[in-house]
Structure 1
């Protein structure tokens, strides 16, 4: 019993002296849990829909649904749906409502169609109520005219025949009231991207590809450098003329080659065997995956400078990787606080996932993705420079 107590005391003392482990053990899980709570408890975002010259009755009914309705002309609506700022554009083709869905997010498409069906049902109900009211009014008018006709027939007067003919005409008009036709008689649905056969997982496939690339590369690169440092290999490296920046460059280049092969394997299996849709250029996907993986490598090497053991690298995922997973597009952040959306824009995974979605789901080309790729390259450069500076300090300590 004393031996068990002594061993327990030694382990607790060891953890008590390791402040990094204590922070990762107690603070990081609470931080991630709080972040997840903010995301999931955020206001449910309404699906955005642009309307072009709709009948006022339908426009009114649409405004009563949960969808956020925005009036626009044809040119503005095209720009909005091309930029993925709206989930659909509603316009008229004769007396048919044309619903043009953006299509990549099946969930949003379903919300749009639910709003359209709700508005159409309300429009038909309102029209039916108007018809029934007109029929009741017509029946009352017919009753009055019939009574008037009976009165004329019961009290013959000069020009009785002319009065009877006029009363009969009025009776016929009351029996057949003029009704305005229903403004919309049908709905035609078209897809800008995708189609009815797309599943909800097709929208999240690119997200998981980006997440898995980033996470596993981060763990592998960070643990590799820490293992070499704790095993003495790094010390032997530093006795040679090689500099810290050259060591990090070598690691980044090596993992860049591995990420090239990894990208081909993951993308090939995802598209060929799992069945993820891909309507864009495969080489854009490979380039994006390589940049994302190399950014993960540079972040892993930067974080490894803060870790003393490979186990701490895994623990640091809670601080440096898990928030990126939550904010990269796995959840819809349009209803989240603005500060949380701003943090999401500071995560490299967000830009990688956006490019993967643009290419795989929308078939976008270089003109649509180059800014996101430039952002990824910027993260890569910043993480590399910071990692090199931190590594140079460690090199200086070792060489003393």
Structure 2
């Protein structure tokens, strides 16, 4: 038994990638969790209409306040100006309108509630309304875009990455590289081949979620399918890139904590604006961000193609860049 232990420890010692992932990958994930889920210095932006000066002065202790001369239409005003809440008062009570339930809205609501308790602890009733709220107020419905995007991306990444590694392990890729076939043709063939299979998986996932699980979709199901297909091709491209630097299936799995887990933080599970130290800007380098943001706009907000096209373009550009990087990375095996 001792000899087996020594052999295993010796193998791990000589495998720098495994040793690094074993020791440093958990530290990387925990550090990201500390920065992203730790204390946020986010200051909510709240617009007020026809509120007392005393209320506004107290509210300014906890939030940025914008005073309005006339009451706007809540949905357009909140979306176009990046405002977290709109508040006004009438005979029924204090009305609060927010876009959707997330940590930003929760921060704004807390600031209003704290102010209301200080000034009128037993008088004014808070009437809270969300612009984007699922009919059943279901937790799965409210986060469906996150689960669909992350689950689909994860399985496609594993499928394509493992398949690429097996192709190399079986020397199929090496034999092709000995022929006049260009690196671009090889990457293109693999990407479109596995991409089409992954696209089929994406269609099945959306149709099953909507028509069997009855997940709420405010917008077009067809647009959801388009977004999922683009995410599938992105996942295939990421899997192909990672597989080039993995020598076996185990090493492919070892990349999951580094490649996939950090992307989950930018899937919409946490509002980007609330991530401190400017780390939210890292979302632009993760394909999951573009896909999940598009799904959120379609499924929760009911947006159409004209509203989500910038994120679709982002997904396409990501696929294109990864395609070029994968072609260049094959130089590791053959220089043309």
Q: TM-score, normalised on structure 2? A: 0.86
Q: Which residue of 2 aligns with 1:15?
A: 12
Equivalent residue pairs, number = 335
Structure 1 residue 369 displacement after superposition: 0.9
Q: Which residue of 2 aligns with 1:138?
A: none
Match of 1:206 among 120, 145, 150: 145
Q: Which residue of 1 aligns with 2:230?
A: 291
Q: Which residue of 2 aligns with 1:87?
A: 84
Cα distance in structure 2, aligned partners of 1:209 and 1:351: 13
Cα distance in structure 1, aligned partners of 2:267 and 2:63: 24
Residue 70 in structure 1 maps to residue 78 in structure 2 = no
Cα distance in structure 2, aligned partners of 1:367 and 1:382: 24
Q: Which residue of 1 aligns with 2:198?
A: 259
Deviation per residue, 1:50-105 (Å, 9 max, x gap): 223323244345445x5553334545965541248233212345775443231x32
Pair member with larger Rg:
1
Bigger mean CA offset, 372-381 vs 93-102: 93-102
SS in 1 for 2:97: strand
Distance change (3 Å), C-alpha of 1:232 and 1:51: same
Deviation per residue, 1:240-297 (Å, 9 max, x gap): 3322221211111122222222122212222333343210111111111111111111
SS in 1 for 2:65: strand
Structure 1 residue 367 displacement after superposition: 2.2
Cα distance in structure 2, aligned partners of 1:276 and 1:71: 38
Structure 1 residue 361 displacement after superposition: 0.1
Residue 363 in structure 1 maps to residue 302 in structure 2 = yes
Cα distance in structure 2, aligned partners of 1:25 and 1:190: 47
SS in 1 for 2:320: helix
SS in 2 for 1:327: coil
Cα distance in structure 2, aligned partners of 1:229 and 1:109: 49
CA contact (8 A) 1:107 1:200 kept: no
Residue 306 in structure 1 maps to residue 245 in structure 2 = yes
Q: Which residue of 1 aligns with 2:170?
A: 231
Cα distance in structure 2, aligned partners of 1:197 and 1:115: 27
Distance change (3 Å), C-alpha of 1:297 and 1:25: same
Q: Which residue of 1 aligns with 2:101?
A: 105
Identify unmatched segments of 5+ residues in structure 1.
Answer: 128-184
Identify unmatched segments of 5+ residues in structure 2.
Answer: none
Q: Which has the higher helix share?
A: 1
CA contact (8 A) 1:307 1:313 kept: yes
Cα distance in structure 2, aligned partners of 1:18 and 1:302: 20
Cα distance in structure 1, aligned partners of 2:5 and 2:114: 64
Cα distance in structure 1, aligned partners of 2:81 and 2:166: 45
Q: Once superposed, what is the RMSD of the aligned Cα atoms?
A: 3.0
Structure 1 residue 19 displacement after superposition: 2.1
Distance change (3 Å), C-alpha of 1:121 and 1:17: closer
The residue correspondences of 1:125-164 to structure 2 (distance < 5 A) are none
Structure 1 residue 40 displacement after superposition: 2.2
Residue 248 in structure 1 maps to residue 198 in structure 2 = no
Q: Which residue of 1 aligns with 2:320?
A: 381
Structure 1 residue 112 displacement after superposition: 5.2
SS in 2 for 1:329: coil
The residue correspondences of 1:389-400 to structure 2 (distance < 5 A) are 389-396=328-335
Q: TM-score, normalised on structure 1? A: 0.74
